[in-house]
Amino acid sequence: MRVLGIDPGTLALGFGVIENDSGEPRAVEFGCLKLRAQEPFAIRLKKIYHEISAIIERCQPDEFAIESLFYARNAQVAIKMGHARGVVIVAAANHDLSASEYAPREIKLSVAGTGSASKEQVQRMIQHLLHLPKPPEPLDASDALAVALCHSFRAGKNL
């Protein structure tokens, strides 16, 4: 089973695909889509849609999970983040993947054992859980892998 996890953002969007063939989870592909703040917002959303669609076509995940919207002090940031999440969810839906959403605290708890884990703690646990030779970078990518693992754990996929 393959799971695509997304750590959404409008300037940096992390993605991670994990698989469990032999009872041991492994990273298939992960990275971060970097977008330029100077680009019009609609163009950034279009790039997000196309990149996520390409990842889905290339990696063929069976399931899809995304981090839910966290509290934002700035309403504009929250609205833009909602747009980015919506575009990713539509890309997944257009490839017949339903979206599962997890709160940041739940993701951290499932992979690091505490909902207040730092990004660096999550990164080190992802390295350990997926047997990676070095910590996955950037942090957006390790967060996305954490989303995918959280989904696997919560869905009872025994990864």
> Could you report the per-residue pLDDT of 106-135, keeping only the tens digit for each?
999 999 999 999 999 999 999 999 999 999
What six digits make up the tokens of 116?
């207040």
**How many Å apart are CA 102 and CA 147, to the nearest integer?**
7
Whether the CB-CB separation of 87 and 49 falls below 8 Å is answered with yes
Residues forming the active site: 7, 67, 140
Task: Check whether 77 has a pLDDT greater than 90.
Answer: no
Q: Is the pTM of this model over 0.85?
A: yes
Query: Is the CB of residue 8 less than 8 Å from the CB of residue 67?
Result: yes
Residue 22: partners with Cβ closer than 8 Å, 6 or more residues away = none
Is the pLDDT at 69 greater than 90, yes or no? Answer: no
Per residue in 7-61, pLDDT (tens digit) is 999 999 999 999 987 768 999 999 999 999 999 999 999 999 999 999 999 999 9
CA distance 75 to 73: 6
**Local confidence band at 72 (pLDDT 50, 70, 90 cut-offs):** low
